[in-house]
Amino acid sequence: MEPGNNTHISKFLLLGLSEEPKLQPLIFSLFLLITVFGNLLTILAVSSDSHLHTPMYFFLSNLSFVDICFTSTTIPKMLWNIQTQSKIITYEGCITQMYFYLLFGDLDDVLLSVMAYDRFVSICHPLHYMSIMNPGLCGLLVLISWIMMAMYSLLHTLMVSRLSCPDLEIPHFFCELNQLVQLASSDTFLNNLVMYFAALLMSIGPFAGILYSYLKIFACIHGISSDQGRYKAFSTCVSHLSVVFLFYSTGLGVYISSAATHSSHSSAIASVMYTVVLPLLNPFIYSLRNKDIKNALKSLYLIPGIKWTIILGVMKSP
C-alpha cells in the first residue's frame, strides 16, 4: 500500500473498540488464554491417545491448531496496544497480520468442508472408510488446503500493497482487508472485484461441499432401519454441525453488519464473535458431547499422577 504523496507509509493507527476500554484487557486476555488452552488440550488429547489416531480426530486437531493461530493473529497485538496505550502498528506488521488473518480464517472454512466429507464417507461408506480415508489422503487434503489458502491470502496481500492510502487510521482492532481497501484513495475497483469474487467463491465452495455431504448423510441415515442406528449415526455429526452453524452464522453477521449499517464500529464488534468467541467455543463443543475426547482428557490428567505413583513406589522399595 503506497501513499498518494509518494512518501513511504511506516505505520497505521488501530482505533480498536471504544466501548468499555478498561475491561477489554481482562476480557480478551481471558478469551485468549481459554482459547489457546482449550484447543491445545484437544491437540494433546488426540496425540496422546492411540484410539484417537483416526481421520476424524486428525482433522479436528488441525482445526484446533488453526483456531489457536487465528486468535493469536489479532488479540496479542490488541492487548499489547492497550497495555502500552499505543494504537500504532507498523506497515509491515499490518500487512502480515492481514495475510495470516485471511489464511487461518479461510482455513477454518476449508477444514470444516473436509471434515464434512470425512463424516460422509464414515456414514455412507463405513466398510470402505479406512481404505478411502487413508493417512495419505488425509495428509494430502490438509496440505492442499494450506497451499490453496496461502495463495489466496497472498493474492489479497499483493492487491492491497499496490493501493495508495492517505488516511492511516483503521477503525478496527486489527488490519482487516475490507477496512484497508476502504481507506485507499486510489482506484479500488479491481480490489473490490477480486475481494468480492474471492469471498463469494470461498463461501459458496466449502459451503456447497458441506451441504452436499450432509444431504447424502441424511439420505443414508433415513435408510437405516433401527432408531438406535439412526441416532448413533447422527450423533457423530452433531458437534461438527454445531461448529458449522456457528461459523457461518457469525461470518454472515460480520458481513451484514458491515454491509447494512456501513458502520466500522458495528463491524468491529461483530468481528469479535468471529475472531474470538468462535475459536473459544470449538473445543468445548467437540469435547462436551464426545466420550472419546473426555476419556482422553481424563487419561491425560491422570498420567502425571500415575508416573509419580510409580516413582514413589520404586523409591520406597528396598
pLDDT band at 249, cuts 50/70/90?
Answer: confident
**What CATH number has the domain spanning 11-313?**
1.20.1070.10
The C-alpha cell of 239 is what? 458437534
* Residue with more model confidence, 230 or 164: 230
- The percentage of residues in the chain with a pLDDT greater than 70, rounded to a whole number, is 81
Burial readout 180-195 (b: 16 or more C-beta within 10 A, e: otherwise): bbbbbeeebeebeeeb
pLDDT in tens, 110-158: 999 999 999 999 999 999 999 999 999 999 999 999 999 999 999 999 9
Residue 19: per-residue pLDDT: 54
Cα–Cα distance, 70 to 64 (Å, whole number): 10
pLDDT digits (tens, 9 = 90+) for 192-202: 888 888 878 88
DSSP 49: -
Contact 73, 100 (CB under 8 A): yes
| Tally of CB atoms within 10 A around 117 | 19
DSSP string, 252-281: HHHHHHHHHH--HHHHHHHHHIIIIIHHHH
**Model confidence at 60: pLDDT above 50:** yes
Cα distance between residue 224 and residue 229, in whole Å: 6
Look up residue 13 and give its amino acid: L
Distance CA 203, CA 49 (A): 34
Q: Of 162, 72, 147, give the one whose Cα is nearest residue 110.
A: 147
In whole angstroms, give the CA distance from residue 6 to residue 9: 9
- The structure's pTM equals 0.85
Domain ranges of the chain: 11-313
How far is residue 234's CA from residue 227's CA, in Å, rounded to a whole number? Answer: 11
Alpha-carbon dihedral angle through residues 124, 125, 130, 133, given to the nearest 10 degrees: -60
Distance CA 281, CA 286 (A): 9
Task: State which H helix or E strand residue 12 sits in.
Answer: strand 11-14
Q: What is the reported pLDDT for 30?
A: 82
Q: Which segment of 156-160, 265-269, 272-276 scores lowest on mean pLDDT? A: 265-269
**What mean pLDDT is reported for the chain?**
81
Report pLDDT for 311.
36
